[in-house]
Structure 1
C-alpha cells in the first residue's frame, strides 16, 4: 500500500481516489530515497510506473516547503510533446487536492500564449528542451530557483540531439537541491557522461535488465522480399490477428505516409503520426486511437516515447529500428503493466544483420513465423556454422586426396645438375599457354 511511504495526507488521498492499490517495483525502490532528497539514476522499463515514482516525491517536497509562488520550483524535461502531455496529466491527477500549479511548454503551440503562461509562474514546469531554450533566450523563463530537476527518458533526449540544450537548462538550475534521472535503457557513453555531470552522489537503481523487458510480449519476425511484400504482410496481419489496437512503426516519414495511403485505399481506418504533423493533428490522432474510433496508428519513432494507449496489444515493426534501445521503446508500447502483447518485425535481407544485433543486445531469440500464402523465398542467410563445418569436412577430404596423390607420384629426374640450368628449365616450362603450346625457346644471344 502507498501509506507505507511518508507521503502527505493530500497525496495519499489522491492516490486512493485514483484507486492505486499496490505500488510497482520501481515505485517501491525509488520513492523512499527520493523523499530523503537523494539524487537518483533509475533504469526502469516503459509502463512500469516510473512517472509516479518521481512525481509523488516532488509534490511531497513542494507541499512540505510551501512558499509564495514567485519562481518555478520544479522542472521536468522530456523528449517529446506526447510524453510531456502525458506527464502533465499525471501531475494534475496526483496534485488534485493541493494548491500546486503546473504548466507545459512544448513545440507546436502558440509561443505568446506560452509566454503569458510562464508569467503566471507555475510551481512545476514540464517541457521539451528545444522550446524551453527558445523561451530562455526570449527572457520568458527564469530557472534560478528550481529546487528539483527531473530528466525523464534522458537516453531518448540524447538520441534526439538535445544534449547541448539539456546541459544548458541544467546549468540554469544551478541552485537545485535534487536531481532525478530516469530512462528505460542503460544508454551509452553520452548518458554516462551526463549522469556524472548532473547528479551528485546518486543512488543507482537498475529495476530491470534489457533481456527481461516486456516478458508478457511475444516477439516474432517474418521475412519479406521487399517493401511491397511487407505492405501485403501488414494488411494480412491487420485483417487476421486478434487485437484491440495496433501501432505500425516505420523509420521515415515518407514510408509512414506511403503505408498510411495504402492502408486507407484498402479500407483500413488508420491515422498517421510523425514529426511533420502539426500539434493539432497529433493530438487528434492519439485521441481517436485512445477512444477506439480508430484501431490502427502508423508512426515514426516520435511516437515510441510517451504514447500511452490502453489496450494497445499489437506492435508491427515495418522497418527494423536502428538500435536495440529503440526496439525496446517500440515494443514497450504493448505488454504494459503485466498485460500480454505481440510484437512482429518484418525482415528483408538488408534488415537481417540489424535484427541479429538486436537479438544479441537483448540476449533473446525471436520466434520465426511464416504466413501461408505470403511466404517469401528469402528465409535468412545460410547457417554459417553449418556451412563452415561442411567446408571444413570437404577441406580435410581434399587434403587427404592431395597427400595420396603426392605419395603415388614419382619425383621427376633432374635434367641438369647445375642450379642455373634447373632455374632456366623451370622458367621455360612455366611459359605454356592454356592451349597446351610447347615451351618458348630461348634465343641465343647475339655475338658482341
Structure 2
C-alpha cells in the first residue's frame, strides 16, 4: 500500500507549504491532487468536480506558485478569477489571502454591491490577482480601469452557474480583452451541457479534461429524504415541525423565488426568533451581516434562494430543507452539498407537493439515488403521492381465455365480414388504427407527453 500524496510531493513553493502547514492542510483532496501538477506545468484545464471537493485551492495554489516563480512582465493584472456570485467571490478572496499569507502577493476583490470608486482605487494599485463577478468587471473594463493585456492565468469558477445566470456575453467580452498567451483553468460541475462545451472551446487551448466526482455521483455522507405536502400552508407546518424536532446545529432552507424567501423568512422568524433570510436583491452590507451571523452560529436557520447553493463553504450545516424542490438535478445537488462536507454527515429533506412529484422522480433518476419517504404523523396531510397507473398488456388482463369451437370461429368470421362497409375507401387518417404511422420523419405524428426538464 503506497503512502498518501502530500502537498510537499506536488512541488509547491516553500512559502505556500508554510501557509498550508499553518492551517493543518497536509494531504490534498482528489481534485487538488489531479489538478495541481498539470496546472503547475502550464496546461489549460477543463475540470469537473462536485461541490465541496476542494477545487478552490486546486486553482489558487498553482496560481500563487506561478506568480512567485516568475517576475511580472509589465504592470497589468497577472491573474483573474471570475465567479458567479458575490458570496463565492468573497470566499475565494479569503482563501487566497490565507494561502498567500507568507508572500507579498496582493489580491483585489471587485464585485457588485460595493463602492465603485473604492474599487477604482484597488485597480489603480494594480494587485497581482483580481477576484470578481463578471458584471462588475465589465463595468470597470468599459471605463478603461482594467488591464488584462499581461494576464498570465484566467480562471472561470462555477462556469456552469455563470452561464445559467446569463453571464455568457460578459464572460466572452472579458476573455476577448485577455492576453492570448494566458493559461486558462475552467471549473464546472458538469461538462455535458452543450453551452458549457461551446464556451470552453472558445476560451481554452488544447485543454486536459479532468473529471472526478460529478454532480450525479451519490453523496453517501448525506441522508436524502422527502415529505409529502398538500400545499404551501401545509409545507409551513411541516417546516416548523422539522425545525423543532430534527437535531441540527445550522439549517439551510431553500425556496425558488425571492418573494417566497422573504415571506417564509418572516414566517419562520415569527415562530422561532432565531432565523434570517437572504436573496440577491438585499444590499451587500445586509448580505454580509446575515452570512456572518449564520457562520458564527448566532443565527441557526437561514432561508435562501439558490444564491447560497453554490460554492459557499459554511461549516456546521447539518440540515438542508428544500421548501420548494430544486428546478433540476444539478441545482438539487448543489443545494444539498451545503451539508455533509469535509467528512461530516448531514441530512437533506425535500417537501414535495403534487406538482413536484414528477420533478422529484426526474431528479432522483438523474442523480441515481432513491430518496427515502419520511412520514410524519403529527403533520401528515391528505396527499399520498400519485395514483397507481393501471397495469397494461398481459398483466392487466384478468379474464380467462375461452377456447372457441371450429363452428364458433366460423360464426365470428362471418360476423366480421358483415360488419365491414361495402364500396367505401380507407378510413380517414383521424380514424385509422393507432398502429398506422403516417409517412414523414419515420416516427409518425404521435405527440409525446411532456416530461419535466431535468438537466
Q: What's the CA shift for 1:393?
A: 4.5
Correspondence for 1:106? 111
Q: Out of 345, 350, 369, which is 2:350 matched to?
A: 345
The one-character-per-residue Cα deviations of 1:319-342 (angstroms, maximum 9, x if unpaired) are: 111111111111110111121000
CA 1:408 to 1:56, structure 2 compared with 1: closer, same or farther past 3 Å? closer
Q: What's the CA shift for 1:140?
A: 1.0
Residue 377 (structure 1) aligned with residue 379 (structure 2): no
Q: What's the CA shift for 1:403?
A: 7.3
Correspondence for 2:11? 6
- Looking at structure 2, the residues matched to 84 and 37 of structure 1 have their Cα atoms a distance apart, in angstroms, of 24
Correspondence for 2:232? 227
Query: Could you list the runs of 5+ residues in structure 2 that have no partner in the other structure?
Result: 1-5, 424-455
- Looking at structure 2, the residues matched to 310 and 219 of structure 1 have their Cα atoms a distance apart, in angstroms, of 19
Q: What's the CA shift for 1:182?
A: 0.8
- Looking at structure 1, the residues matched to 410 and 378 of structure 2 have their Cα atoms a distance apart, in angstroms, of 58
Q: What's the CA shift for 1:185?
A: 2.8
Note if contact 1:214-1:336 (Cα within 8 Å) is conserved in structure 2. no
Correspondence for 1:29? 34
3-state SS, counterpart of residue 266 of structure 1: helix
The one-character-per-residue Cα deviations of 1:15-41 (angstroms, maximum 9, x if unpaired) are: 111110211111111011110001111
Correspondence for 2:280? 275
3-state SS, counterpart of residue 180 of structure 1: strand
Note if contact 2:49-2:213 (Cα within 8 Å) is conserved in structure 1. yes
- Looking at structure 1, the residues matched to 239 and 74 of structure 2 have their Cα atoms a distance apart, in angstroms, of 52
- Looking at structure 2, the residues matched to 142 and 110 of structure 1 have their Cα atoms a distance apart, in angstroms, of 20
The count of residues paired between Structure 1 and Structure 2 equals 414
Note if contact 2:262-2:277 (Cα within 8 Å) is conserved in structure 1. yes
CA 1:286 to 1:396, structure 2 compared with 1: closer, same or farther past 3 Å? same
Higher helix share: 1
| Misfit runs of 4+, over 6 Å | 401-404, 408-414
Q: Out of 113, 133, 143, which is 1:128 matched to?
A: 133
Superposed counterparts of 1:209-220, under 5 Å? 209-220=214-225
Correspondence for 1:236? 241
Note if contact 1:149-1:176 (Cα within 8 Å) is conserved in structure 2. no
Q: Out of 380, 391, 411, which is 1:388 matched to?
A: 391
Note if contact 1:155-1:187 (Cα within 8 Å) is conserved in structure 2. no
CA 1:412 to 1:131, structure 2 compared with 1: closer, same or farther past 3 Å? closer
Q: Which has the larger radius of gyration?
A: 1
CA 1:241 to 1:408, structure 2 compared with 1: closer, same or farther past 3 Å? same
Correspondence for 1:440? none
- Looking at structure 2, the residues matched to 413 and 54 of structure 1 have their Cα atoms a distance apart, in angstroms, of 81
3-state SS, counterpart of residue 41 of structure 1: strand
Note if contact 2:249-2:316 (Cα within 8 Å) is conserved in structure 1. yes
CA 1:70 to 1:353, structure 2 compared with 1: closer, same or farther past 3 Å? same
- Looking at structure 2, the residues matched to 67 and 203 of structure 1 have their Cα atoms a distance apart, in angstroms, of 26
Q: What's the CA shift for 1:247?
A: 0.5
Shifted more, 210-219 versus 264-273: the winner is 210-219
Residue 173 (structure 1) aligned with residue 171 (structure 2): no
- TM-score of the superposed pair, with normalisation by structure 1: 0.87
Note if contact 2:152-2:179 (Cα within 8 Å) is conserved in structure 1. no
Query: Could you list the runs of 5+ residues in structure 1 that have no partner in the other structure?
Result: 424-448
Superposed counterparts of 1:241-280, under 5 Å? 241-280=246-285
3-state SS, counterpart of residue 342 of structure 2: helix
